[in-house]
Structure 1
Amino acid sequence: MPILDPLSFECVSHSDEQTQRLGARFAQAIPPVCVVALQGDLGAGKTHFARGIGMGWGAAQELRSPTFTMLQEHHREPDAGARLYHVDLYRAERAEDVASTGLLELLEDNDGVIVIEWPERAWDQLPPEALRVRFAVTAPSKRNLTFSTQSASAWQTLLKFRKLAFGV
């Protein structure tokens, strides 16, 4: 797990199931209000990781790729007031498309966890404390995941996740 810069680290996932388990462990480390940006090519594992976040967070329903609806809101039982928003910006080609998802309003009045796939379509809108996960396919079932942030306070969340997931 090499350190790329002071606010990032990476790991390797060897299967979709492992990527999902990493997402579930990640959910145990994140605060109740945060932004998680999942970046990578098609098939890189973003949705598996997001599904794991939903499982670890306690979503009442399994997270599925919201490609066509672009935004799905999830609740957890018994705390129906807790919210997890799953946003997929794959089809957002213009700023107007991003705006039409409701993401900008969510970011402004965030009351939960916002998980964004294809965040590069809205980088300039994301807060510096966003937790970023970059997925790179290195073999048919192997993915490199790079965890980073631009915020020293959010870095503490990533360190908590690293400790939970890897013991270091």
Structure 2
Amino acid sequence: MTHQTNSVEETQNFAQNLAKKYTQGGIIALIGPLGSGKTAFTQGFAQGLDIKNKLLSPTFVLMRQYKIPHNPKGLLYHIDLYRLENTQQITGLGLEEIFANPHNIILIEWADKLGSLLPKQAAKITFRTVNVTKREITVISRP
């Protein structure tokens, strides 16, 4: 499924609607170049889960977690692997434990850096910049 958005708000609205399919957990790999809408998508996704906190990009802290109001057994994890350069750095993050909880909802920016460490059940969403405001978002697989 491919969807085009013409603004940050449209990207966030698309993500809000998709979030409703992830009320019980899931892993979503966000793949695309810098500035293609991955963080805006994640912010909208969190809004779709009724998370009131403003999501900030975890580029420098690598990972942030948020309580999900309607899913007390899991957390929303927003992971950004942009700064990581090799799999050794990734294995030190403890992602296996986070992935193991089926109630967690995990959005991973730059997920292509995980390689074979990305769980097979992860949905993949690609982002492409069409022009300054327009984005093409393709959901390759989903639950």
User: TM-score of the superposition, structure 2-length normalised?
Assistant: 0.91
Is the Cα–Cα contact under 8 Å of residues 29 and 108 in structure 2 kept in the other structure? yes
Q: Name the structure 2 match of 1:52.
A: 44
Aligned residue-pair number: 143
Query: Which range is displaced more, 132-141 or 106-115?
Result: 106-115
Q: How does 1:1-168 map to 2 (within 5 A)?
A: 9-77=1-69, 80-149=72-141, 154=142, 157=143
Deviations 1:27-56 (A, max 9, x none): 011241210111111100000000011110
Matches of 1:139 and 1:15 in 2, distance apart? 11
Answer 1 or 2: which has greater helix percent: 1
Question: 1:102 offset after TM fit, Å?
Answer: 2.3
Provide the secondary structure at the position in 2 that maps to 1:139. coil
Higher RCO by CA contacts (8 Å cutoff, separation 6 or greater): 2
Question: 1:12 offset after TM fit, Å?
Answer: 0.6
Is the Cα–Cα contact under 8 Å of residues 65 and 76 in structure 2 kept in the other structure? yes
Q: Flag the 1:114–1:79 CA change in 2: closer, same or farther, 3 A.
A: closer
User: TM-score of the superposition, structure 1-length normalised?
Assistant: 0.78
The aligned amino acid for 1:131 is: A
Greater Rg by CA = 1
Matches of 1:55 and 1:91 in 2, distance apart? 26
Q: Flag the 1:47–1:114 CA change in 2: closer, same or farther, 3 A.
A: same
Question: 1:148 offset after TM fit, Å?
Answer: 1.0
Deviations 1:45-79 (A, max 9, x none): 00000001111012241221101111111003375
Identity %: 30
Runs of 5+ in structure 2 lacking a partner?
none
The aligned amino acid for 1:72 is: R
Question: 1:83 offset after TM fit, Å?
Answer: 1.1
